[in-house]
Amino acid sequence: MKHVPVLVLFAAVCSLTGFAEEEYQTWRAVGGYKTVAAFVSYDAGVVTLKKKDGETVQVRLERLTPAHRAEVIRLAGPTATGSTPRGQIQAPKGRRELTFERLGAGNHWHKQIKENELSALKQIDRSWNHAETKYFIVHYQKLGYAQRLARMADYLYQYIAADLPGYEDRVKEKSHIVVIQDRDDWKEYLKLSQYPNQWAGGYVRGRVMFIYDMDNREVNAHIVAHEMSHLILNRFFIHRPPLWLNEGLAEWYGHFGWQAFKGQKVNIRRSLGEMDDTAPVSELISRKSYPSGTDAVRKYYATSHQLVGMLKLRKDEDTFVKFLTEVTGKGRPVEEPLESMYGLSNAAQMQEALDEFLK
């Protein structure tokens, strides 16, 4: 399939019969280029447009402005490749679809929970409750929120699994979710357990997720979806991805998973949004630990999210899954598939690609 240079794409426009006038619109790309054309298709990261003189031209999605990238996704709909997660799981509706069975007496705590964590949990509440869902064991204080979280957790497990074809769950036992009742208990738990990131709204270690009820549906949902992504991906990955890729994926599913759970059509523009103040890519990819301060952490997460989004949109979904498999399945250094699959051989090229993507 021939790719026409962007300068050719945004050339002067003539007239064409056979298309209704309202099908044409002005398409804008980075650098101020623009043309009037009708949308034809979007496949594997390439947008095909047809000008009024009948000429068919192609441009990579990331060359378009954010608004027109979103327009491409809207027009392409469910047939788009390289655009949206392809998990097609229906969100459970009502209590009847909730698998939440209370567990009787006994020690139901996961063996990976450390002694200081378990001691901290028992200090903030002496009467923990335990339940089992289709995919998880849940430890909770307050029933209502625990059940809502359980519905979303089971959904996200299916959603992420459907979005990563070829990946298999490598763990037989169920992962555990510890649901702490409110902010005060959570702050006390972080202090007593001596967890290093006292700013955290939740965290995952191995097969266990620790989270609390923030008493805000939207915030709860995003944090749960983000941390749930870590919990689930830990089951699928053999090799841990670098920090930026790990957090970028969690942010990706944190946004898209929550939208899908609500039954909303995935909206690329709203989920990725626009970002002017990013963390430098060279710093992003070299970090082995989190930056200091909540603002720096937010910027790190947001930039990682944009970088993962750029890779997903740069080519098709199959390419991204193959890229991820090279890193998390075969254990190859991330730099190798970045160069061989995306043509990004160093931090400077990644920075340039991200800057173009965000224009």
Q: Using CA atoms, how far apart are residues 250 and 322, in angstroms rounded to an integer?
A: 18
Position 11 confidence tier, pLDDT thresholds 50, 70, 90: very low
Q: Is CATH 3.40.30.160 what the domain over 85-236 is classified as, yes or no?
A: yes
Position 92 confidence tier, pLDDT thresholds 50, 70, 90: low
CATH: 2.60.120.560, 3.40.50.2300, 3.90.25.10, 2.30.30.700. Which one for 6-79?
2.30.30.700
Q: Which tens digits make up the pLDDT trace of 12-37?
A: 333 333 333 448 889 888 777 788 99
In Å, how far are 81, 85, 225, 257, 342 from 253, measured between CA atoms? 17, 9, 7, 5, 22
Residue-level pLDDT at 123: 96
User: Looking at per-residue confidence, does 80 or 357 come out higher?
Assistant: 357
**pLDDT of 178 above 90:** yes
Q: Using CA atoms, how far apart are residues 237 and 228, in angstroms rounded to an integer?
A: 14
Distance of CA 284 to the CA centre of its chain: 17
Kind and range of the H or E element at 269?
helix 268-272
120-150 burial by CB neighbour count: b if 16+ within 10 A, else e?
bbeebeeeebbbbbebbbbbbbeeebbbbbb
Domain positions in the chain are: 6-79, 85-236, 247-359
User: Looking at per-residue confidence, does 44 or 90 come out higher?
Assistant: 90
Helix (H, G, I), strand (E, B) or coil at 133: coil
Which range (57-71, 88-102, 131-145, 177-191) has the least confidence? 88-102
Q: Which tens digits make up the pLDDT trace of 331-347?
A: 999 999 999 999 999 99
Check: CB of residue 197 under 8 Å from CB of residue 290: yes
Which range (16-30, 246-260, 282-296) has the least confidence? 16-30
**Considering the entire predicted model, what is its pTM?**
0.71
**pLDDT of 9 above 60:** no
Position 83 confidence tier, pLDDT thresholds 50, 70, 90: very low
DSSP state of 109: S
